[in-house]
């Protein structure tokens, strides 16, 4: 959330918290851009009049950096409503006029997230004993919940939706972290090791996570008697 009014940020943070979302506030464009180098966000909400850069210029910078995959929601005062057409043409996805209506804000954020991340809003994906609930962001193994951090969950869902495919390290980093793999970084390997342990990826559960040296990772489904899958696989890969 980019806005130079602390009360506005606090108000929106409270609304987002009631919807199950975590919201970070930034007072100017420079601090937001710095934050985007360290943190990955699912959606950005921008005030049309940040103190250090024009709103339309900020929209253009963000589109140049992230392409069209990151939803952008603009907020503006009544006096700027007529200028929102130019913001939409520059790459914004939607806008709202202040003062913001709580219910409308929740609905618009939900709609943008559903459009940008459709797999999260599927009811349930089943892969043998692994049950994903994308809307809730949870995984159950043999009916028991598995506690994962957000990036671990995103990695797991990406792997399961691509069973049998080699996913390059660079692709995994760009998709989940939103940034390129830094030389010598072990972050991806650390996350994969945790996933292998926390999801109990082993033959008895019908899945193994294979590392292809220097290339990437592949989640493999073990067919046959050794898999011991109590359920058929469901959920097509993509």
Average pLDDT, the chain: 85
Any domain includes 233? no
CATH number of the domain at 169, please.
Answer: 1.10.10.10
Position 122 scores a pLDDT of 65
- Region 212-225: mean pLDDT is 82
Helix ranges, the chain (H): 6-18, 29-38, 55-66, 84-90, 102-116, 150-160, 169-172, 187-198
Both structure tokens of 114: 């559903």
Map tokens 């290339």 to a residue: 215
Map tokens 């943008």 to a residue: 112
Sign (positive or negative) of CA dihedral 148, 198, 175, 66: positive
Own/partner pairs, 223-227, CB within 8 angstroms, 24+ separation:
227/128, 227/203
User: Is there a single domain that holds both residue 142 and residue 176?
Assistant: yes
Quote the domain boundaries for residue 156.
122-221
* pLDDT tens-digit readout, 33-54: 999 988 889 999 999 988 888 8
Position 74 scores a pLDDT of 95
Residues 94 and 108: beta-carbon distance below 8 Å: yes
**Does position 170 have pLDDT exceeding 50, yes or no?**
yes
Q: How confident is the model at residue 137 (pLDDT cuts 50, 70, 90)?
A: confident
Q: What proportion of the chain, given as a percentage, has pLDDT over 70? A: 87
Any domain includes 59? yes
Rounded to the nearest 5°, which phi and psi values hold at 28?
A: -150, 165
Any domain includes 205? yes
Q: How confident is the model at residue 175 (pLDDT cuts 50, 70, 90)?
A: confident
User: Is there a single domain that holds both residue 34 and residue 62?
Assistant: yes
Number of folded domains in the chain? 2
Q: How confident is the model at residue 184 (pLDDT cuts 50, 70, 90)?
A: low
Any domain includes 236? no
CATH number of the domain at 71, please.
Answer: 3.40.50.2300
* pLDDT tens-digit readout, 3-14: 999 999 998 988
Position 114 scores a pLDDT of 82
User: Is there a single domain that holds both residue 100 and residue 136?
Assistant: no
Position 121 scores a pLDDT of 67
**Does position 156 have pLDDT exceeding 90, yes or no?**
yes
Predicted TM-score (pTM) above 0.75: no
């Amino acid at each position: 959330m980019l806005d130079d009014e602390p009360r506005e940020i606090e108000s929106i943070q409270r609304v987002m918290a009631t919807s199950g979302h975590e919201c970070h506030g930034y007072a100017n464009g420079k601090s937001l851009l710095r934050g985007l180098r360290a943190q990955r966000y699912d959606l950005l909400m921008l005030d049309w009049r940040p103190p250090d850069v024009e709103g339309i210029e900020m929209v253009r910078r963000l589109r140049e950096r992230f392409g069209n995959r990151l939803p952008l929601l603009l907020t503006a005062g009544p006096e700027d409503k007529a200028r929102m057409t130019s913001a939409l043409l520059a790459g914004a996805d939607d806008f709202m006029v202040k003062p913001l209506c709580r219910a409308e804000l929740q609905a618009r954020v939900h709609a943008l997230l559903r459009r940008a991340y459709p797999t999260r809003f599927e009811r349930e994906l089943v892969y043998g004993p692994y049950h994903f609930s994308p809307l809730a962001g949870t995984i159950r193994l043999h009916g028991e919940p598995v506690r994962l951090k957000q990036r671990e969950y995103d990695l797991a869902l990406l792997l399961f939706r691509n069973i049998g495919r080699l996913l390059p390290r660079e692709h995994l980093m760009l998709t989940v972290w939103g940034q390129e793999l830094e030389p010598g970084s072990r972050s991806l390997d650390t996350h994969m090791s945790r996933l292998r342990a926390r999801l109990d990826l082993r033959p008895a559960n019908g899945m193994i996570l294979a590392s292809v040296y220097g290339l990437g990772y592949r989640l493999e489904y073990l067919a046959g008697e050794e898999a011991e899958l109590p359920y058929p696989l469901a959920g097509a890969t993509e």
